[in-house]
A = this chain, B = another copy of it.
Amino acid sequence: MTRPRSRRGGGRPTIADVARKAGVGAITVSRALREPGRVSEDLRRQIQAAVDELGYVPDPNARALASARAEVFGVLVPSLTNNVFAEVVRGIYDSLSDSPFRIQIGNTHYSGLEEERLLQVFGSQRPAALIVAGIDQTPSARRLLENAGCPVVQVMETGPDPVDMMVGFSHFDGGRTATEHLLQAGYRKIGFIGARMDPRSQRRLAGYRAAMEAAGLFDPRLVTTTPVPSSVSLGRELFRDALAKMPTLDGVFCNNDDIALGVLFECHRASIDVPKQIGVVGFNDLDMMQVSFPSITSVRTHRYEIGTRSVAMALAAIAGNPPEQRVVDLGFELVRRESTAR
C-alpha cells in the first residue's frame, strides 16, 4: 500500500513515458536508441518523435546499472597543467565528443598510490575503457588494470610488456637523439637539465647519458636535476646552478621546453650567445619554440595523436576488433633550429 516515490527524479521523463507516448513497449524504445537497426523504420520515427517532444535523455546511471557497463572512459594523468598531458587529453576529448562516451579524468599527481586509489574508484564504475599515462604502474595498480574487465591503453611511452595496449614513443631514444644532435653540431660539454624527474624524464636522461658515454664525454657533474615541478623560472635557476658547477658548459639538453625557455632567457640576461657559446635543445616542441629568438631546437612529440590514437584503439577493442598491433610507437622528430646552429 505504499504509493510510488512521487518521482524523486525531479520529474524528468523516463523511458516509460516515451514508450507510452509512442505507443510501444519500453524495451523497444531502449532498442531504438541503442540498436536502431533492430527496430522497424516506422516505430523508430515514432519513438524519435516522442523523444524529441518530451526532451527525453537516457539516465546514464540507470543504464550503467542495468547493463553492468558505463559509457565512460577513465583517463589517468599525472598532471593537468602540464602542457603535454593537456594535449593528450584534448586528443581524447576530441575523439570522443561525437560518441556516447563520457570521460572521467583522474589526476594522480605523479603518485603511484594516488593512481591505485583512482583505479579503485574508476573500477567501481565499470568503465568502457581505461587510458593511463605511463608504463610504470605499481604491481597493485597493474593488477587493477588487468582485472578491469575493459580495454586498457597505456600512453606516452612504449615498453615491452603492455597490460593490454600501448601508444607512445621511446623517451630514451628521444633523449639520445637530442644529445647526438648537439654532439654532431660540435658541442662537447653538454649538460642535462631536468625538473620533476618522473620515469619518462629518467629515460630521457638515460638516453642523454648513453649518447654522452658513447662519445666518451659523460660526466655526472653535467647533470642537473630536481624533483620540483618544472617551470620556465625553474629552468633559469637550474641553468645558473649548472653553469656555476661547470662554467665551461657549451650545450644543454633540456628535459622539456619550459626549461629550455628558461635557459634561453638566462642566456639573454647574462649575454651568453645562443648558439655560439651554448647550444640549447628542448623537448616536446611547443609552439613557442619556433617563435623564440633564437628559435629553439626541440624534439617534437605527437601528443595530440597519442590521445586520438589511444581512443581509436580502445574503441576498436570495445567493438570487438582489438588491433593486431598492440604497441604503437608514434615516434618523434628532431626539429633543428637556430639554438643549435653554429
Residues of A with Cβ closer than 8 Å to B?
Answer: 8-10, 12, 57-62, 64-65, 68, 70, 80-81, 83, 86-87, 89-90, 93, 97, 102-105, 107, 120-121, 123-126, 149, 231-233, 235-236, 258, 261-262, 265-266, 268-269, 287-288, 290-293
Contacts and interface: CB of A to CB of B under 8 A. Distances in A.
Contacts of A102: 104, 121
Contacts of A262: 288, 291
A81 B83 contact: yes
Given A80-B86, A288-B233, A57 B107 contact: no
Nearest to A233: B291
25 contacts: A8-B68, A9-B126, A57-B120, A59-B65, A60-B61, A61-B61, A61-B70, A61-B125, A65-B65, A80-B89, A80-B90, A90-B107, A93-B107, A102-B104, A103-B105, A105-B105, A231-B287, A232-B292, A261-B288, A262-B291, A265-B288, A265-B291, A265-B292, A268-B268, A268-B293
B86 A90 contact: no
A86 B70 CA distance: 26
A126 B9 CA distance: 8
Contacts of A62: 61, 65
Contacts of A61: 60-62, 64-65, 70, 125-126
Each complex incorporates copies of this chain amounting to: 2
Contacts of A59: 65, 124-125
A142 to B, nearest CB: 16
A178 B61 CA distance: 48
A68 B292 contact: no
A255 to B, nearest CB: 16
A283 to B, nearest CB: 17
A148 B97 CA distance: 22
Nearest to A79: B90
A120 B93 CA distance: 17
A246 B86 CA distance: 37
Contacts of A86: 80-81, 86
A57 B293 contact: no
Contact of A265 (B80, B123, B125, B293): B293
Contacts of A269: 293
Contacts of A65: 59, 61-62, 65
A232 B287 contact: yes
A124 B288 contact: no
Given A10-B126, A12-B123, A80-B90, 6 more contacts: A8-B68, A65-B65, A232-B288, A232-B292, A233-B291, A236-B291
A68 B125 CA distance: 17
A119 B80 CA distance: 23
Contact of A9 (B60, B68, B233): B68
B104 A80 contact: no
A232 B93 contact: no
A240 to B, nearest CB: 12
A188 to B, nearest CB: 26
Contacts of A233: 287-288, 290-291
Contacts of A126: 9-10, 61
A90 B58 CA distance: 30
